[in-house]
Structure 1
Amino acid sequence: MKTIVICSGGLDSISLAHRVAAEHQLIGLLSFDYGQRHRKELDFATACAKRLGVPHQIIDIRTIGRHLTGSALTDDVDVPDGHYAEETMKATVVPNRNAIMLAIAFGLAAAQKADAVAVAVHGGDHFIYPDCRPGFIDAFQEMQNQALDGYASVSLHAPYVNISKADIVADGAKYGTPFAETWSCYKGGTRHCGRCGTCVERREAFHLAGVADPTEYEDPDFWVAATSGYSAREVK
């Protein structure tokens, strides 16, 4: 199955890229510059493409992104600290981001005669991001079946959509993902901050998976208090 992986440069999408490279025919990585708070993660996506020996395309949609205002990922809004299951983390929502990116990805996949587009949405995203939920994935596939009817048949491959971040870490370890060569932190400093939602989720995932975390954090212990009262089951 000739597959294009949407790769942000984060732990999830790079783990997915390594999995697809092992199980299918990975024909390229696709990333998006939507004016996010920092572009550091895109460097990790580029490095992943080189490591796997496939082309890497970065699509510039900053003109669109600058109109999707109000998010801590695109505007001058503080990135909240804490667990992903907290209401404050909704400040990181970029409206319709996945729908926009997937629509472009499917167009490219059809043009390049690819069989599938793979995306690393996962169960831990469901609380905050509506365009990471199984209902969205199913509906998007149906929409694309209609949009490309008679021209191309492209499937949406989302193997992580019903599993936790810890499960992704375990899966990434299985396929030899170099976790130190992934970037999660929303703040984009020299090291992972250890305090933002994605850092807390990352640190917790390694702990729950029983896999050594090679990440250097500015605050490596903050996750303990931040995850108190939450469980992977509760935030799935």
Structure 2
Amino acid sequence: MARKSPVVLSGGQDSTTCLYWALQKFGAGNVQAVTFDYGQRHRVELESARTIAAMAGVPQTVLPIDTFAAIGGNALTDDDIDPESGAQNGAALPNTFVPGRNLIFLTFAAALAYTRGIRHLVTGVAQTDYSGYPDCRENTLKALELSLRLGMDSRVELHTPLMYLSKAETVKLAEQVGAMEALAYSHTCYNGEQPPCGHCAACLLRAKGFAEAGVADPLVERCKGA
């Protein structure tokens, strides 16, 4: 029986790379995308995810989770919080951290996979190049995987192909799996701008990765020609 897998697709660089990695690993026809509408202030993320899923030829399920917007307190859901202003309310983590987001996303994605008889689940979290988010660490994901297995009495397996890759290595992987064309339509900017603002933490990290890889960012190149 062919192995099947949903990929958590946000429309960003990492999840797009993981989508094409999954297509290579599991084969066309065995991959689907799951995207979360969690009340994010920049709706361009959802548009990017929709476009990329269509380019990859995979079915996409969009799940609405508006609780994060109701909770608030972070720059990704609150219009009045500047993502470049640093930590929020004296917190140790940047204000772009949405507490519990990856834990909730993967729990819902695992529930979706369970209902479809699928045990493999792919996510683009990375411990090497990240913004200090504790829900991107391998120990968090291993603990969550165990909890999902026990709580759902399943053999769910979380795949994290980017976990120990630098952003430059992620760019190289994107080239290897054929994701570069789709990356031209991905969205990373914390300010929600297209062309990307180029100065927020997400833009700087992305630009650093492409520069170190010696590869032109297809998103920037597309915006130049627009």
* Fold agreement, TM-score > 0.5: yes
Q: Is the 8 A contact 2:34 2:63 kept in 1?
A: yes
Q: Is the 8 A contact 1:80 1:88 kept in 2?
A: no
State the alpha-carbon separation in 1 of the partners of residues 135 and 219 from structure 2.
28
What root-mean-square deviation, in Å, do the aligned CA atoms of Structure 1 and Structure 2 show? 2.1
Paired residue secondary structure (1:181): coil
State the alpha-carbon separation in 1 of the partners of residues 125 and 39 from structure 2.
20
Per-residue CA deviation, residues 7-60 of structure 1 (Å, 9 max, x unaligned), is 000011001101110111443100111111211011111112112222111111
Matches within 5 A, 1:63-212: 64-75=67-78, 76-80=80-84, 90-149=94-153, 152-177=154-179, 178=181, 179-212=183-216
Q: Which residue of 2 aligns with 1:233?
A: none
Identity %: 36
Unmatched segments (≥5 aa) in structure 1:
221-236
Per-residue CA deviation, residues 138-166 of structure 1 (Å, 9 max, x unaligned), is 101111110122xx321111111122111
State the alpha-carbon separation in 2 of the partners of residues 43 and 90 from structure 1.
25
Q: Which residue of 1 aligns with 2:26?
A: 24
Paired residue secondary structure (1:120): coil
Cα gap change, 1:135 to 1:88, in 2 (>3 Å) = closer
Aligned residues: 211
2:54 matches 1:45? no
Cα gap change, 1:215 to 1:52, in 2 (>3 Å) = closer
Q: Which residue of 2 aligns with 1:60?
A: 64
State the alpha-carbon separation in 1 of the partners of residues 214 and 71 from structure 2.
38
Provide TM-score, normalisation by structure 1: 0.83
Q: Is the 8 A contact 2:93 2:133 kept in 1?
A: no
Q: Is the 8 A contact 2:75 2:81 kept in 1?
A: yes
State the alpha-carbon separation in 2 of the partners of residues 101 and 33 from structure 1.
10
State the alpha-carbon separation in 2 of the partners of residues 100 and 115 from structure 1.
17
Paired residue secondary structure (2:125): coil
Per-residue CA deviation, residues 76-119 of structure 1 (Å, 9 max, x unaligned), is 2011179xxxx987110101000011110000000011121100
Could you tell me which amino acid in structure 2 is paired with residue 27 of structure 1? V
Q: Is the 8 A contact 1:68 1:94 kept in 2?
A: no
State the alpha-carbon separation in 2 of the partners of residues 35 and 119 from structure 1.
20
Q: Is the 8 A contact 2:22 2:31 kept in 1?
A: no
Paired residue secondary structure (1:199): helix
Could you tell me which amino acid in structure 1 is paired with residue 40 of structure 2? Q
Paired residue secondary structure (2:7): strand
State the alpha-carbon separation in 1 of the partners of residues 59 and 194 from structure 2.
27
Paired residue secondary structure (1:189): coil
Q: Is the 8 A contact 2:21 2:177 kept in 1?
A: yes
Q: CA deviation at 1:125?
A: 4.9
Provide TM-score, normalisation by structure 2: 0.87
